Amino acid sequence: MSQSHSAVGAWHRPMVARLAGEEHRTATALELFFDLCFVTAVAQASAAFEHELAEGHIGDGVLGYAMVFFAIWWAWMNFTWFASAYDTDDVPYRLLTLVQITGALIVAAGAADALQHEDFTVITWGYVVMRLAMVTQWLRAARSDPQRRRSCVRYAVGILIVQVGWVARLALPEDWGLPLFAVLVVAELAVPVWAESAAMTTWHPHHIAERYGLFTLIVLGETMTAATAAVRTALDDETALGDIATLVVGGVLTVFALWWLYFAQNAPQRLDSLRSAILWGYGHYAVFASAAAVGAGLAVNVAHTTGHGHLSDGAAAAVFTVPVAVFITLVWLLHHRGAEIRSRNDLIHPVVVLGVLAMTFTPVPVLATGILAALLVAATLVVASRARGRAALPTA
């Protein structure tokens, strides 16, 4: 059964499961605040990534960014799915959410050291703070929801064991760092699969889709903020606006097109089973990471155009075109299934992705990418319009 949330911020409520088909289930003010605080960590990771790219440390920068972003994304994702099933909005729930926000800010503070000096100490402690708060939340749910107690206990035990691994990793030799990171990531990803196999929690498909959409919006907004700061820095260095005009136009076109493409899909219909939900939810790691990386890539290209940084023309172009291609690819994959690819129209996205990658070798890669992304939006609109027209025709 679901519970009434009319008395907002009550001292205590039993953490019983909310209905998966609950009407008017929307994101709460606390969830929106949570997202905004987490984007602080995204912004710091993106800024540190930009610095590494500009210095020419592409391999180390990409690896460090992927590792830091995992901590941010995984903690955000676990809170989101838990809240969809067990948001009581009582005082303990709010305070534990505050603990997770604090952990996110610690992660943000350690992002630069992690990427620039491979020091993951601060990142790890911030991450563990967030995850231990989730252990407490799951134990609350286990106590109040006997029908899904086994699942909730599995979540709590699994998360706790993996956190011991993260802390132990700090004490091990440096050579063990990356292999153990990979093992712990696999363990983290396995916990929800293991726990949900005991009894599926009552996450709400429309609520989950909205939460992911809102975070995508905020990350894309952060991308525009990062690009604006780079342009402002260039103008402060007395760079002529005409010198970076193609970057500005191409960047705006690209980000707007990415937003359009993401929200052109009906996400809730994809969340119709545990398997599809896991694939859809996990796949958003690359969606969020690439969206934030677009901003870093655009900032690097502004710096490159104004004579700063240590990248070649091709490398500078690639740090923008590659994350754009990754974003478009993942949006296409997450909203299509193999059986649904019935015609050439369903392959427009992969063809455009190849085109975006080819734009790396043009004189104006950012502008060319923006134009190509805009043409993809136009093509999807035409295809959708024709599909609606065929559906409206009377059948014989």
The span from the CA of 69 to the CA of 180, in Å, is 17
CA 250/CA 324 separation, integer angstroms:
12
Of the candidates 221, 225, 259, 244, the one whose C-alpha atom is nearest the C-alpha of residue 376 is: 259
Give the alpha-carbon dihedral of 264, 268, 273, 278, to 10 degrees. Answer: 70
What is the per-residue pLDDT for 391?
Answer: 61
pLDDT at residue 1 in the model: 38
Q: What is the pTM of this model?
A: 0.89
Three-class DSSP category at 70: helix
Flag residues of the chain having pLDDT under 70.
Answer: 1-9, 336-345, 387-396
Burial degree of 387 (CB within 10 A; 0-12, 13-18, 19+): exposed
Amino acid occupying residue 156: A
Q: Are 103 and 126 in contact (CB under 8 A)?
A: yes
Can you give the pLDDT at residue 337? 54
For residue 393, which phi and psi values (nearest 5 degrees)? -70, 140
d(CA 208, CA 189): 18
Amino acid at 238: E
Evaluated on CA atoms 143, 149, 153, 156, the torsion sign reads negative
Residue carrying the six token digits 């899904």: 148
Given a contact cutoff of 8 angstroms between Cβ atoms, the answer to whether 184 and 169 are in contact is: yes
pLDDT at 236: 79
CA dist 386 and 91 (Å) reads: 52
pLDDT of residue 225: 86
Q: What distances in angstroms separate CA 101 from CA 38, 40, 84, 266, one per listed residue?
A: 7, 10, 17, 30
Alpha carbon 189 to chain centroid, angstroms: 15
**Alpha helices (runs of H) in the chain, residue ranges in sequence order:** 29-54, 58-86, 91-117, 121-144, 149-171, 177-196, 205-236, 241-262, 274-305, 313-334, 348-358, 365-392
Q: Whole-angstrom Cα distance, residue 102 to residue 126? A: 8
> Could you give the CA distance from residue 217 to residue 209 in angstroms, rounded to a whole number?
12
What tens digit of pLDDT does each residue of 188-245 get? 999 999 999 999 999 999 999 999 999 999 999 988 888 888 788 877 777 777 778 8
**Alpha-carbon gap, residue 298 to 53, rounded angstroms:** 11
List C-alpha distances in Å: 95 to 11, 82, 92, 98, 107. 11, 15, 5, 5, 19
Q: Going by C-beta distance under 8 Å and a sequence separation of 6 or more, which residues neighbour residue 299?
A: 50, 226, 227, 229, 230
Q: What is the pLDDT of residue 271?
A: 81
Is 91 within 8 Å of 10 (Cβ atoms)?
yes
pLDDT at 338: 47
- For residue 169, how many other CB atoms are within 10 A of its CB? 16
Find where tokens 């990356």 sit: 178
Give the model's pLDDT for residue 340.
Answer: 54
Rounded CA Rg of the chain: 22
User: Which domains, ranges and CATH numbers included, belong to the chain?
Assistant: 29-196 (no CATH), 205-388 (1.20.1410)
Please give the pLDDT value at position 116.
Answer: 85
Q: How far is CA 231 from CA 224, 245, 271, in A?
A: 10, 10, 40
